[in-house]
Structure 1
């Protein structure tokens, strides 16, 4: 997830590799945060028991693939992939631990290694908004889907609806430590506009498109947990934080904690967010 410009040569794989261990460590926590989102996306896939299903940008937990694999009576094929090899390693370990019939591979959503018309359902969380050209990824999904195939993907609603990310991001940006995106650049919120995203989906070749909002609550146990999440889990924000000297990090932490007080929930915090599920059919 990022709100900074993606310059030429930006190493997205390296960035996600750098936070893979932290994402893996928080995997169960993040699965809880996004449980309703996962349920909504799986329902929107309109699964048949023998479908071939692919989860893109699966991260270390492959939540969609896991939910499909645990679905009673499902006998289809389940595949999952991510740009980050470290994320894939973590996801494979979890799947083996739980005895899930999911195959994994490293992949780029703009160059999928599947033949034309070979996949029934595709699910993807928070990836198309991070592409320099989102329609390139959407067209690639359309290419590999069967004639009655279905794509379900998640994006974030507008920045104002997502304090969980904007709170630390704004603290860093105000200090010149994190650069917000220019209009039209890849970002967490690049596909927040419902009408614009719907038009992209149709331009990519899909004939129908529906949208549903899903609220999120990022619950953090105490100030240490809040800082750990900012420092280790928040993608490029974490990279920016870790590159600062100790004094700057202390200043950033103090201001983040001050602003987070309005989201206090007992000893900890409940930072709100809003995801948007887009379901598209061919």
Structure 2
């Protein structure tokens, strides 16, 4: 069973626990918070805790539509400490109050979040990675924050980078898409180039330390790269005997990649260490 399948099973069987946390789910999956967060977001397009909250409030809605008499008890079961906090979250999700839903007695037309079932996209067969030591490098470019729900904005970020002149401090001709973990299941994405020295005006620099990497090759169109990322974090890493270090991982676009067509292939570099 993949790490995300384990997480989904655990959430469905433990969502009634008001104190259920990301650490609890990660421990049940025998994974770090970083690894689970990355795998879950890549596989589902959602953050784990946002999915958990949505499942709880969906179950609360079903209970209220079925006539649950005590709204506070439903709120506590859903992990909310007060009637007010529950009502606020309920209204944000469904556009009506818990009392209004109970009075109408059905959930038709509500944006319920059903239990996720993974599709077969996780069956992608990965070629074995090469394991390499990579010296430190500095990448300069544009840095933006995303959630897995808003990551569709990344291509436009690359287009904005193309408007910047090539700096004199450029090292080589490769381009990099770097992912940096942020709070709350979000991540920062830096698209840029390797430089020596200070970042040019309008760009920000990120120093990436020397690391041991597992390097994968995504051979298909760039639009499908998320499936390769998913296969790495959801299936390959748990079975590899290695652990993700949680530092920046990145895509490297070299001379094989054709910007005009999105074809040619991309390398994916994951910093790893022995468990």
User: What TM-score bracket applies, with the shorter chain setting the length?
Assistant: under 0.3
Which structure ranks higher in relative contact order (CA pairs < 8 Å, sequence separation ≥ 6)? 1
TM-score, normalised relative to structure 1: 0.22
